[in-house]
Amino acid sequence: MKQDIVFIMLIVAIVIIAVLVAVIGYLLMRFRSAEQNKNIIQTKFTELENKVDSLQLESLESRLNPHLFKNVLNSIQSHAYQTYFALDKLANVLDYILYEARNRFVTPQEEIEFALNLIEINKIKVSPLFELKVKSKIDEEDPLFTQRLLAPLISIDLIENAFKHADLQSADAFISIVFEFKDSTFSLTVSNKISGKAPLRKEKSGIGAETLEQRLKLIYKNHYRLDRFTEEDVFIAHLKINLLEHKAQMLTAR
């Protein structure tokens, strides 16, 4: 009798252990499946987020390029006597827009060269007495200077805005543009004496400023700083992008 009870208890214990093992195994499988599903969902979410960002950028850039192109043509058309020189610079600008600007990123070297060509085109609008200062403080030995980390056309708005709001025919007005690249950081400082004349209001104006803000937030997150302020009658805009931090973020996201 005692042997039968012991045998039954042993069977019950074995069954209980088997059930526990089965339950634990099932729970482990569910846990692993949940973890896999979580990873799959996170991956899909990241992919969709990147696609949304890309679509937003494509939409923004599709508005930006025609806007820039129209400004350039208007500048050349209003100063026919300098057409040959302007067209030479325009060819460089268009090459950049049609080919390089299609890339998600360009090198700081390419963007600065493009901006300098754009400035040369805008110079035909100014009076010979107008003071236009353009400086470049570039560390060409910095390895990131020739790496594709800078969003194309990122310098347009600040430069175009200065030419738009300065009195280009006034002898005491000025525009100052300074490009800097050091410590893997791209900087652009643009300042201009504010014109006493109100700028002409055009339909759909302000696209450039809105686009710049949105692109910086989408691409560089917390690795940039954009300041715009006025000191007496001088408007100053300063853009700073830490490309080293941005590159580290890109590598981490892979």
Does 199 have pLDDT greater than 70? no
Domain ranges in the chain? 52-253
List pLDDT tens digits, range 230-247: 988 899 999 999 999 999
Tell me the pLDDT band of 86, cut-offs 50, 70 and 90.
Answer: low
CA pair distance 65, 153, nearest whole angstrom: 9
- Per DSSP, the residues of 99-165 read TGGGSS-B-HHHHHHHHHHHHHHHHTTS-TT-EEEEEEEE-TTSGGGGSS-BPTTTTHHHHHHHHHH
The answer, as to whether pTM is greater than 0.85, is no
Does 204 have pLDDT greater than 50? no
List pLDDT tens digits, range 112-132: 999 998 888 888 777 777 888
In this structure, of 41-50, 75-84, 196-205, the range with the lowest mean pLDDT score is 196-205
Contact 152, 103 (CB under 8 A): yes
CA pair distance 21, 25, nearest whole angstrom: 6
Tell me the pLDDT band of 136, cut-offs 50, 70 and 90.
Answer: very high
Work out the average pLDDT over 24-38.
62
Number of Cβ within 10 Å of residue 88's Cβ equals: 12
Does 184 have pLDDT greater than 90? yes
Domain spanning 52-253: CATH 1.20.1250.20? no
Does 214 have pLDDT greater than 90? no
Does 52 have pLDDT greater than 50? yes
Determine the pLDDT at residue 201: 47
Work out the average pLDDT over 175-191.
97
Determine the pLDDT at residue 167: 75
CA pair distance 94, 102, nearest whole angstrom: 12
Number of Cβ within 10 Å of residue 11's Cβ equals: 10
